[in-house]
Amino acid sequence: MADEKSVSANDAAMYRLAFRVLLGVANPPDGMALCVSIGRDPGSNTAYDPPAELIARLTPPLHAAYPASQCVMDTRPVIARGGEQAQWYHVWVKQQRGDGSRLLVLVHIYGNLGSHAWESVATPVDGGWQVSQQTLVAIS
């Protein structure tokens, strides 16, 4: 499993594509702040902050993105400093497969009991990545 604390250039490319896919299916409202996280600590289930470069490169033009450590969960996700409402976007590698592909979980949280989760497969192709069609696996 990739160590999300230190993301390689190859993994960063996979995460960028996975976030683009996630933002495409979740379709955040224009101007909504985004909380962004990757991976999860197996002991505490705590999400990791993505590298700053990853956040900067995935930020859509109409949204400000913040690492998870700058966000808190109230009845909805909010930016800790200032209390601006946000939506949370999280990608983690559920399984690394022998063929180099990875089973991903893509999560969109918009409220305390409001979220969607999809599974998708990231496959290495021609020095980059391809992310498969998403399968909705949870709604709360």
Max Cα-Cα span within the chain: 45
Q: Which of 128, 51, 122, 56 lies closest to 93 in space, CA to CA?
A: 122
pLDDT at 107 (0 to 100): 95
pLDDT tens per residue, range 25-79: 898 888 899 999 998 877 777 889 998 888 887 666 778 899 999 999 889 999 9
Per the CB < 8 A criterion, the answer to whether 65 and 58 are in contact is yes
- Whole-angstrom distance between the N-terminal and C-terminal Cα of the chain? 27
pLDDT at 3: 42
Dig out the tokens for 51 from the structure. 């590298």
Question: Cα–Cα distance between 115 and 119 in angstroms, integer?
Answer: 14
Give the residue from 103, 95, 99, 90 showing the smallest Cα distance to 131: 103
- Range name among 1-5, 45-49, 79-83, 96-100 with the lowest pLDDT average: 1-5
